[in-house]
């Protein structure tokens, strides 16, 4: 793992299982590597922050030509709030076919990565939708 790598996590907690159910995929979280030991992430119960890389079951998508830019851009998001309303709206979208609600002042994990990438088209993506979009993109390298 190196700076700029996008880390797609396969969680096993109760919350992770709920995400897998509603998102219809294997990934439950996504973060961006800042170096070989640290990631920046939007995670529930805290603001966007730099954390020690503690995940054990994950896949990496890498954009080598943009790695430095991605890592540098990530720092501007530190301290943003977590968007609980957006998470709830994904469940409502799957159950009742409603639109996604998005607080412009808060982020979920996949939205953070879309913002860091500068990809407005991926802003309302779930971790699995983001993974599919990025692994189909030319120039991406995929590692397990």
The CATH number linked to 33 is 3.90.1720.10
134 assigned to some structural domain: yes
User: What range defines the domain where residue 26 resides?
Assistant: 6-143
Q: Is residue 125 part of a domain?
A: yes
| pLDDT tens, position by position, 5-29 | 999 999 988 888 888 888 889 999 9
Calpha distance 12→115 (Å, rounded): 26
Q: Determine, yes or no, domain membership for 1.
A: no
Give the model's pLDDT for residue 68: 82
Mean pLDDT (whole number) for 109-122: 94
Which pTM was predicted? 0.88
Total domains present in the chain: 1
**Residue pLDDT, tens place only, 76-103:** 999 999 998 887 877 777 777 666 777 8
Summarised one tens digit per residue, pLDDT across range 50-82 is 999 999 999 999 887 788 888 889 999 999 999
């Amino acid at each position: 793992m190196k700076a700029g790598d996008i880390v797609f996590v396969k969680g096993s907690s109760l919350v992770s299982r709920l995400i897998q159910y509603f998102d219809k995929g294997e990934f439950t979280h996504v973060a961006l590597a800042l170096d070989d030991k640290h990631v920046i992430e939007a995670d529930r119960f805290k603001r966007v922050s730099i954390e020690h890389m503690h995940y054990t079951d994950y896949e990496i998508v890498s954009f080598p030509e943009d790695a430095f830019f991605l890592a540098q851009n990530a720092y501007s998001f530190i301290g943003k709030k977590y968007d609980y309303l957006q998470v709830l709206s994904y469940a409502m979208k799957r159950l009742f076919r409603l639109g996604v609600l998005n607080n412009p002042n808060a982020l979920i994990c996949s939205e953070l990565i879309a913002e860091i990438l500068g990809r407005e088209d991926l802003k309302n993506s779930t971790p699995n939708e983001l993974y599919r979009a990025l692994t189909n993109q030319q120039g991406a390298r995929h590692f397990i």
